[in-house]
């Protein structure tokens, strides 16, 4: 019985590590697509992703020069 429990625990750890690697890879792909680098942040990852997406959409919709005030207001709404 103890051998089966050890095997289940080993498999559970293995699957957990696979899930973590997959999440890390997906996150890296998304950051590469957004073309941003985070130097330091105390913001949760899902919120960072949402803020990056919003910023990218705002930057893409701005004609010509970057308007930092509009960008800041848009991010504040998120």
Question: How buried is residue 57: exposed, middle or buried, by Cβ count under 10 Å (0-12/13-18/19+)?
Answer: exposed
**Cβ within 8 Å of residue 55, ≥6 positions away:** 36, 71, 74, 75
22 and 50 fall within a common domain: no
Task: Report the chain (78 residues): mean pLDDT per 10 consecutive residues.
Answer: 88 92 83 66 79 80 79 76
pLDDT at res. 73: 81
If asked whether residues 19 and 1 sit together in one domain, one would say yes
pLDDT value of position 45: 79
In this structure, are 49 and 30 located in the same domain? Answer: no
Reference 31, options 53, 59, 60, 54; nearest CA is: 53
53/31 same-domain check: no
| Alpha-carbon torsion (26, 29, 31, 34), positive or negative | negative
d(CA 21, CA 38): 19
Give the residue numbers spanning the domain of 23.
Answer: 1-35
């Amino acid at each position: 019985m103890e051998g089966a429990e050890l095997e289940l625990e080993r498999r559970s750890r293995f699957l957990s590590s696979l899930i973590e690697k997959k999440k890390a890879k997906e996150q890296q792909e998304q950051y590469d697509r957004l073309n941003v680098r985070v130097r330091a942040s105390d913001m949760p990852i899902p919120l960072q992703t949402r803020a990056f997406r919003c910023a990218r959409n705002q930057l893409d919709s701005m004609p010509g020069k970057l308007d930092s005030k509009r960008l800041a207001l848009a991010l504040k709404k998120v």
